[in-house]
């Protein structure tokens, strides 16, 4: 059974697209990265999966239960943890009291362990918390009932670098225990650390879905070469050369061609230095966000705000 499955899932706010024809499968036990910049439709998809908003079309299941069947969805959500991008915590109570409240609602299997791992100041009122401390408390609340599936929307928001690394290690340990993660993010540097596969969403539509390593392999390498001769862009009119910047004796470009062909070509020059490295994920990601007619469509969060819902992050 898939942990999450959508087929043609669509959500419109009036005439504005939130997500359209979204079809994906999240396998049990994997960390699936759901990627896109703010306003791409990530939160709309998550809120639809969790039953907070109703789809305009298509279908979706959460742990095998139809998200439009209220009774079935309630049963599924007993086994789901959810970390929203902006946790709405009661600022007039302490973290300890909120944990007790959540324990009464959904059970408490692991709060002591989680408090030791993330260490939010639970005896203070939440209104006094920093953004990072609110996020740490939200992490405890998301995992305390030991869910099978955890949906995380921008989970490292507000966390300092050390706590981010602790969270990555925690996710790795949880995955080893069999937990499935749906990991929504626009921070690409963290994706490779934790995700097995990624789906990239652009303006509400899925534009790619594959393994992280496959995505990087398909996107090629970043090459920088320095030679003694003066270079002209025409000197690198080779198959597989993209995003070329050449001048004087230096050239930088993305390369997706055959490396033997590149090395044969460089034998025509007196090479001073050559660097070939993996493309930054940011470069890979931006290939799906070049200028196009869709880039001018209104962002989904505008319509969500008009409809009285949360903005899409």
pLDDT per residue as tens digits for the range 106-156: 999 999 999 999 999 999 999 999 999 999 999 999 999 999 999 999 899
Burial of 205 from C-beta contacts in 10 A (0-12 / 13-18 / 19+): middle
- CATH number of the structural domain spanning residue 84: 3.40.50.300
Model confidence at 9: pLDDT above 90: yes
Model confidence at 301: pLDDT above 60: no
Model confidence at 65: pLDDT above 50: yes
For residues 206 and 250, membership in a common domain is answered with no
pTM of the model: 0.78
**Spatial contact of 233 and 246, defined as CB atoms under 8 Å apart:** yes
For residues 202 and 253, membership in a common domain is answered with no
- CATH number of the structural domain spanning residue 246: 3.30.70
For residues 168 and 260, membership in a common domain is answered with no
Give the chain's domain count: 2
Q: Which domain holds residue 86?
A: 4-215
Helix (H/G/I), strand (E/B), else coil: 210: strand
Q: Is residue 302 part of a domain?
A: no
**What's the whole-number mean pLDDT along residues 185-195?**
82
Q: Is residue 247 part of a domain?
A: yes
Res 127: pLDDT: 96
- If pLDDT is split at 50, 70 and 90, which confidence band does 309 have? very low
- Element of type H or E holding 165: helix 161-176
Q: How far apart are CA 46 and CA 170, in angstroms?
A: 22
**What's the whole-number mean pLDDT along residues 35-58?**
91
For residues 95 and 9, membership in a common domain is answered with yes
Average pLDDT, the chain: 87
For residues 164 and 235, membership in a common domain is answered with no
Residues 6 or more apart whose Cβ sits within 8 Å of residue 258:
239, 240
Q: How far apart are CA 240 and CA 220, in angstroms?
A: 9
For residues 27 and 171, membership in a common domain is answered with yes
For residues 118 and 29, membership in a common domain is answered with yes
- CB count within 10 Å of CB 42 equals 26
For residues 45 and 143, membership in a common domain is answered with yes
For residues 19 and 137, membership in a common domain is answered with yes
């Amino acid at each position: 059974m898939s942990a999450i499955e959508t087929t043609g899932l669509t959500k419109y706010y009036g005439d504005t697209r939130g997500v359209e024809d979204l079809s994906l499968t999240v396998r049990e036990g994997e960390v699936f990265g759901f990627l896109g910049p703010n306003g791409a439709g990530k939160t709309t998809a998550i809120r639809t999966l969790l039953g907070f908003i109703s789809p305009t079309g298509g279908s979706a299941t959460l742990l095998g239960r139809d998200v439009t069947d209220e009774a079935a969805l309630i049963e599924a959500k007993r086994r789901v943890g959810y970390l929203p991008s902006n946790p709405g915590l009661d600022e007039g109570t302490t973290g300890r009291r909120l944990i007790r409240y959540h324990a009464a609602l959904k059970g408490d299997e692991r709060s002591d362990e989680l408090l030791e791992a993330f260490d939010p100041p639970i005896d203070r009122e939440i209104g006094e918390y920093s953004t990072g401390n609110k996020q740490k408390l939200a992490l405890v609340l998301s995992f305390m009932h030991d869910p099978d599936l955890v949906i995380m929307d921008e989970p490292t928001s507000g966390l300092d670098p050390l706590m981010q690394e602790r969270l990555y290690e925690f996710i790795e340990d949880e995955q080893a225990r069999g937990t499935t993660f749906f990991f929504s993010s626009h921070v690409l540097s963290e994706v490779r650390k934790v995700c097995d596969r990624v789906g990239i969403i652009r303006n509400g539509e899925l534009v790619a879905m594959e393994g992280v390593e496959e995505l990087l392999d398909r996107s090629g390498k970043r090459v920088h070469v320095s030679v003694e001769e003066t270079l002209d862009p025409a000197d690198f009119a080779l198959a597989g050369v993209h995003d070329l910047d050449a001048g004087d004796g230096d050239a930088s470009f993305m390369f997706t061609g055959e490396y033997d062909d590149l090395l044969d070509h460089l034998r025509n020059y007196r090479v001073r230095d050559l660097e070939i490295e993996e493309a930054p994920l940011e470069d890979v990601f931006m290939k799906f966000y070049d200028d196009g007619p869709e880039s001018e469509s209104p962002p989904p969060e505008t319509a969500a705000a008009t409809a009285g819902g949360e903005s899409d992050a």
